[in-house]
Amino acid sequence: MGCAPMGHILYDEVMRYNPKNPYWFNRDRFVLSAGHGCMLQYALLHLAGYSSVLDPSCAGMLYATSRPFSCKEKKDRNPPHLGPQMKKEDLKQFRQWGSRTPGHPENFETPGVEVTTGPLGQGIANAVGLALVEKHLAARFNKPDTEIVDHYTYVILGDGCQMEGISNEASSLAGHWGLGKLIAFYDDNHISIDGDTEIAFTEDVRARFDALGWHTIWVKTGNTGYDDIRAAIKEAKAVKDKPTLIKVTTTIGYGSPNKANSYSVHGSALGAKEVDATRQNLGWPYEPFHVPEDVKSHWSRHISEGASFEAEWNAKFAEYEKKYKEEAAELKSIISGELPAGWEKALPTYTPESSADATRNLSQQCINALASILPGFLGGSADLASSNMTLMKSFGDFQKFSPEERNLRFGVREHGMGAICNGIALHSPGLIPYCATFFVFTDYMRPAIRISALSEARVIYVMTHDSIGLGEDGPTHQPIEHLMSFRAMPNILMLRPADGTETAGSYKVAVLNKKRPSILALSRQKLPHLAGTSIEGVEKGGYIVSDDSLGNKPDIILTGSGSELEIAVKAAEELRKEGKTVRVVSLVSWELFEEQSDKYKESVFPEAVTARVSIEAGATFGWEKFVGTKGKAIGINRFGASAPAGKIYKEFGLTPENAVAVAKSL
Amino acid sequence: MGCAPMGHILYDEVMRYNPKNPYWFNRDRFVLSAGHGCMLQYALLHLAGYSSVLDPSCAGMLYATSRPFSCKEKKDRNPPHLGPQMKKEDLKQFRQWGSRTPGHPENFETPGVEVTTGPLGQGIANAVGLALVEKHLAARFNKPDTEIVDHYTYVILGDGCQMEGISNEASSLAGHWGLGKLIAFYDDNHISIDGDTEIAFTEDVRARFDALGWHTIWVKTGNTGYDDIRAAIKEAKAVKDKPTLIKVTTTIGYGSPNKANSYSVHGSALGAKEVDATRQNLGWPYEPFHVPEDVKSHWSRHISEGASFEAEWNAKFAEYEKKYKEEAAELKSIISGELPAGWEKALPTYTPESSADATRNLSQQCINALASILPGFLGGSADLASSNMTLMKSFGDFQKFSPEERNLRFGVREHGMGAICNGIALHSPGLIPYCATFFVFTDYMRPAIRISALSEARVIYVMTHDSIGLGEDGPTHQPIEHLMSFRAMPNILMLRPADGTETAGSYKVAVLNKKRPSILALSRQKLPHLAGTSIEGVEKGGYIVSDDSLGNKPDIILTGSGSELEIAVKAAEELRKEGKTVRVVSLVSWELFEEQSDKYKESVFPEAVTARVSIEAGATFGWEKFVGTKGKAIGINRFGASAPAGKIYKEFGLTPENAVAVAKSL
């Protein structure tokens, strides 16, 4: 209620969008970082006449109407929505099963919602990603005679978002990058769930943003000061080299005579009686959900106006395409998400004779290969580029004065990095952001990774130093439970390649899975290229690397992932020397394997073979799934240690010798 | 090398400590938040004559020499250390197996190291916790005639720590709380791993801290300006109502003629040649690891000086004890960690006739019970106190001007909250901090939770809204993979109680486990008190709640945790009506169950009974461990939905009817 004036001005006066095509490429983006206030956005979408375009790819204007998902892909989601538009009935079904008006804004449920917010601070960081894309694409594609990319990113964030560390991380980067077309409204209402912010939040937010390199404005009259808000937006737009924070002082629950300015309106409904009192207080004599004719007629222009915006842009693009064929093709690919034909042939290939290398280095070869062929591929590391091996050699750094470049320098800000990448991925279907840190520090960015999974954002997480194999940095830096923690998460691919071929396969899978993020766990230490690994195998998640048995009945199955597959292979050689028949199975992605047919799964792990040993440098928790009740899992169920990698592997029993001994015990 | 002057001044001139008892209660605390620079701290500990006290509890001065762990509890850690002191040999074994000089500072390995750092930003937040404790205990226990609690907390943090969001969260709170005895040195060396901070970090840090309510000072001569550093510390101490940030501009690798001021000295050794050049450049003609006699003799005074500090304090405490018997007893309990006799009797008890209630409400009863009996019990929520039900009714809010109170108001800063609680827990063995948010937002604080587990910090994580049962807030707020993600983490207890009795049991376990943190997953929705639940059962992690079979051979075992135990119980009743013998097993903590004898485990889950069904409102990943290859797991392997809880439970098949159907299929 306190944000209604900002919302009104944005949707009715300021933003350029096409309600009949919420996915029009050059639209202004709006993010409600304070996602719990989503009814405001739903109401505005309703007034503006928003509608979902069910199958934009049929419209013949792919570049103009691309959207992040198609309805048939949503079959495993909630029941079909009530209708193609944001109808009154949708608003009445707020927070109900199957509605398009969930308790927090979800891009995969509601056309017109750009990203998924609710977990505080994510939205402002997503908005930084959206604004980054605009600056980047504008620098790459705009011409002296044509501004083909040209939109603003607006965001509303509240006290909760401001308290979260992620918002400081992302805002620091926005200031550093000089994202002049990012305009953030800070809903300064002094109330959070526990009461007055006086009890926990007394910093000077505006001064902090000044320190972060933003332009800041204070609107003291947020409840009613429409002209002040308009003036602030005008001022913000005039400042082109800095993002702008407009601190808008408001009253939470503005208009409610008895509950305004109290925490009781933060998370609870007003109640029928107070709603009546509020209507009376605000002079709003209409029945619930009624939109008076004059309001309806006032807002109705957005449908034709929006259609004009898009048509004008389409015409401009048609001209652009004539003059700048190559650029237009690239931009089209970014807008549509269509991958260049044969792109996967760019990925490097390896044989067992290729020289041993760390998968983080092999990953860099893949990154550079993809950089050369995918126009929407961009990314970087949280201050570990030279350890994560993530620099694209053919590009420079995306910076304030070189925004056309594609290497992103996130600083030590993993959480902000992940959420910025979500914003990048959800800007346009052809953008493929990657980001990197040590695997253990996925902990720092886990809320953003979860939002990637939930919101179907294709972010590639390049996570190196994926086990105790990183050695001397010790237990604070050595992941143990992380593989399992992601294997348990819905809609994400956890990939742990064992060598060059599997690394290339993992990138292929990551790029092709447009509706889910992928995490690649990569080694610091050198690994040999193994006989029997394959890209097709990676695509199945799990597969037989070698087997010397007959009739699908080896004496024992050894299985593992990543750097421990080599150990399984060596143990198998030893056991075979002793006359045993041994199968080695690579389980590079449990999720992909789970999606295979029962028949295929049985062909890899036959029920009759119960002697199974897994080996993986991580928690054994979860391996029961594959080794069963009669098998054994070799792994690590304690924290790591600071020592050279080889020493720790030996002390922890992650050796071919131990695998042989355990196998024999079965 | 750039921090050496600060380190020298702190350890040689400023800090009060007793090297022969690193755990002396009233010592000044030092935290190296930039933990990768730990060799500096190890060297200083060596010079100061630090030594571990192997069994302080035998010294007869428990209150003065308590330490966070005893050596016999470390048997599952790395091999015994090289010697009782920080010897030259320890320094030579830097980052080697079994050394007390790991790659990052670890409180459980190295006496004199207060907390475990390395993951950036954690240390500064720990330091806020340490300083909070000092302010709190001083307010509670100091008397007009006796300052019995009186120490400073010093911290060195670098650019990396400053970029991390957690440091902004914790620093905002430190400013809000006015922690005047917190003095932070910001090592402003302009270099991080990826190079000059110019590429990603151009904000005005000092201005940001001003905005956060800190006193700030800039020492521009950090490499050599000893007097400037001394003056800054003096100024910082004079400011009593604000924490102080001393920005100290330094050169990374100071003294190295060819590598100083470059990223190449950040993560790599200088190399023999450059070490030689550096020695020459600095005029240091000694051989490696040699401490000249004059230096040795200069530093030797710390042993006698430290002994005097402690002796004086002991004498003061003896006087205090005479005058203030009750306060002294409380403080002693906080220092020693000894729990008041019979404390667990304060926990509430329930019967199946008690009225149904959400476990979050039952948790609040436990919290208030513990608040009345445990002098070191304090905590709060990240702006969800009224949802998490975490307020202690007998206390007010810990605030700048009411630091004697015990309800902590963290604001929406989960990550900072967790790390601050680690600092609290590791200040003194009798402090038992708890902190709270929604279970799904453990993601926001996961790095801090992991450090709790690694550093053996007894933090109680009160995590409510533990499943889709929270309803309308939708999938962004509904945990799915979280239970499993913590069950896979070492040295942490993941507890999910089913009713009042199990909630009380969970608190008992959490308090008694002094060397590991506990997470309590608690329901938003009401649950009945079940027949057969018990505190003893909780202590075993898993136990039989009901069984109508004979000879340890029920037809089927139904198992679950938390809110789904009720469903298992109801399904069992139904199946029994149909003539089946059914066992219901509560698995409230997998970790505790795992620690039971094989015999006990077999008595609960007999190998011969393979018909097993689990039911839990979370990922089924991991349940293979208990349901085996022939059983079935009912759970949720997708994201949740926004709708009333009952509706989602029904749609997702988490019902007695479905459990009965699945059981029958086996």
**Residues A130-172 pLDDT 10s:** 999 999 999 999 999 999 999 999 999 999 999 999 999 999 9
Q: Residue A74's pLDDT band (boundaries 50, 70, 90)? A: very low
A463 contacts A387 by C-beta, under 8 angstroms: no
Q: Whose CA is closest to B220, among B231, B234, B236, B207?
A: B231
For residue range A310-351, list pLDDT tens digits in order.
999 999 999 999 999 999 999 999 999 999 999 999 999 999
Q: Report the distance separating Cα B418 and Cα B462, nearest Å.
A: 11
pLDDT tens column, A2-29: 999 999 999 999 999 999 899 999 999 9
Averaged over A228-235, what is the pLDDT?
A: 98
What CA dihedral angle connects B128, B130, B135 and B138, to 10 degrees?
Answer: 180
Q: Are A167 and B416 in contact (CB under 8 A)?
A: no
Which chain B residues are within 8 Å of A268, Cβ to Cβ? Answer: none
Q: How confident is the model at residue A84 (pLDDT cuts 50, 70, 90)?
A: low
pLDDT of A525 > 70? The answer is yes
pLDDT at B624 over 90: yes
Nearest CA in chain B to A399: B199
CB contact, 8 Å: B454 with chain A?
yes
Rounded CA separation B70/B629 (Å): 42
Question: How far is CA A617 from its chain centroid?
Answer: 27
* Averaged pLDDT, B492-505: 98
Contact call for residues B628 and B612 (beta carbons, < 8 A): yes
> pLDDT per residue over B125-157, tens digit each?
999 999 999 999 999 999 999 999 999 999 999
pLDDT at A573 over 60: yes
Nearest residue of B to residue A479, measured between CA atoms: B489
Q: Are strands B542-547 and B518-521 parallel, antiparallel or unpaired?
A: unpaired
Lowest mean pLDDT among A126-140, B63-77, B246-260: B63-77
* pLDDT band at A79; cut points 50, 70, 90: very low
Transcribe A139-198 into DSSP letters: HHH-BTTB--S---EEEEEEHHHHHSHHHHHHHHHHHHHT-TTEEEEEEE-SEETTEEGG
Hey, is A282 helix, strand or coil?
helix
CA dihedral B333, B334, B340, B345 (to 10 degrees): 180
pLDDT bin (cut points 50, 70, 90) of residue B81 is very low
The pair of structure tokens assigned to B451 is 């450090």
A106 vs B contacts (CB less than 8 Å): 474-476, 642
Quote the mean pLDDT of chain B.
94
- pLDDT at position B266 is 84
Percentage of residues of chain B with pLDDT beyond 70: 95
pLDDT number for residue A118? 97
Q: Does the pLDDT at position A65 exceed 70?
A: no
pLDDT of B390: 98
- The pLDDT value given to residue A80: 38
Residue A21 has which token pair? Answer: 């095509």
Residue that has been written with the tokens 């972060």 in this structure: A212
pLDDT given for residue B84 in this prediction:
54
Is the Cβ pair B97, A647 closer than 8 Å?
yes
Is residue A216 helix, strand or coil?
strand
Distance CA B411, CA A168 (A): 15
Residue B52: pLDDT band by 50, 70, 90 thresholds? low
Cβ–Cβ under 8 Å, residues B411 and B391: no
Task: Report residue A47: phi and psi, to 5°.
Answer: -60, -40
pLDDT digits over A443-479, tens only?
A: 999 999 999 999 999 999 999 999 999 999 999 999 9
Residues ≥6 apart with Cβ < 8 Å to A19:
A45, A48, A49, A50, A51, A112, A302, A303, A306
A165 part of contact set with chain B, CB < 8 Å: yes
ipTM score: 0.96
Option in B208, B412, B440 nearest A212 (CB): B208
What are A479-505's pLDDT values in tens digits?
999 999 999 999 999 999 999 999 999
Residues in B closer than 8 angstroms to A214, CB to CB, are none
Q: What are the DSSP calls for B70-94, one per residue?
A: -GGGGTTSSSPPS-SB--HHHHHTT
Look up residue B128 and give its amino acid: V
3-state per-residue secondary structure call for A291-328: CCHHHHHHHHHHHHHHHHHHHHHHHHHHHHHHHCHHHH
CB nearest B164 (choices: A173, A409, A413): A413
User: pLDDT of B158-172, one tens digit each?
Assistant: 999 999 999 999 999
Alpha carbon distance B193, A337 (integer Å) = 34
| φ/ψ (deg, to 5) at A643 | -175, 170
d(CA B530, CA B509): 20
A344 vs B190: CA distance, rounded Å: 40
CA dist A156 and A187 (Å) reads 7
Token pair of B26, please?
A: 């009233």
Mean pLDDT on A294-300 = 96
B196 forms beta bridges with B191
Q: Name residue A377's amino acid.
A: F
Burial class (CB in 10 A: 0-12, 13-18, 19+), B218: middle
Residue B264: per-residue pLDDT:
86
- Among B53-57, B168-172, B276-280, where is mean pLDDT lowest? B53-57
| Chain A residues near residue B160 by CB distance under 8 angstroms | 383, 412
Edge to edge, the sheet with strand B377-381 lists B407-409, B377-381, B432-438, B460-464, B518-521, B493-495
DSSP B321-340: HHH-HHHHHHHHHHHH-PPP
Task: With a cut of 50, say whether residue A551 has pLDDT above it.
Answer: yes
Q: What is the pLDDT of residues A178-219, one digit of tens each?
A: 999 999 999 999 999 999 999 999 999 999 999 999 999 999
Answer whether residue B347 shows pLDDT above 50: yes
Amino acid at B268: S
Q: In the beta sheet, which residues pair with residue B493?
A: B518
Which chain A residues are Cβ-neighbours of B489 within 8 angstroms?
480-481, 485, 619
The helix-helix angle for B165-177 and B122-141 (nearest 10°) equals: 20
Average pLDDT over residues B27-49: 97
Residue matched to tokens 């690193």:
B22
At residue B218, the pLDDT reads: 98
- Is B413 touching A (CB cutoff 8 A)? yes
B-contacting residues in A 104-133 (Cβ below 8 Å): 104, 106, 116-120
The whole-angstrom distance between B201's CA and the closest CA on chain A is 7
How far is Cα A240 from Cα A135, in angstroms, rounded to an integer? 11
Name residue, tokens 């509560």. Answer: B586
B520: nearest Cα among B623, B370, B654, B346: B370
B58, pLDDT greater than 50:
no
At A137, list the tokens.
């694409």
What pLDDT band is residue B64 in, cutting at 50, 70 and 90? very low
Confidence band (pLDDT; 50, 70, 90) for A266? confident
Please report, to the nearest 10 degrees, the dihedral formed by the alpha carbons of residues A163, A165, A168, A173 taken in order. Answer: -160
User: Taking residues A522-534, what's their average pLDDT?
Assistant: 98
Enter the tokens of residue B378.
């304090």
> What local confidence, expressed as pLDDT, does residue A52 receive?
56
| Structural contact between residues B255 and B282, judged by C-beta atoms closer than 8 angstroms | yes
What's the DSSP call for residue B244?
Answer: E
Average pLDDT over chain A reads: 94
Note the pLDDT of residue B86: 81
Yes or no: say if A546 and A532 are a contact pair by the CB < 8 Å rule.
Answer: yes
- Three-state DSSP at A217 gives strand
Q: Do B208 and A204 touch (CB under 8 A)?
A: no
CB hemisphere CA count around A603 (13 angstroms): 11
Active-site amino acid positions of A: 414
| Nearest by CB: A477 against B99, B118, B399 | B118
Interface contact flag, A383 B441, Cβ < 8 Å: no
d(CA A459, CA A510): 8
For residue A437, report the phi and psi dihedrals to the nearest 5 degrees. -160, -170
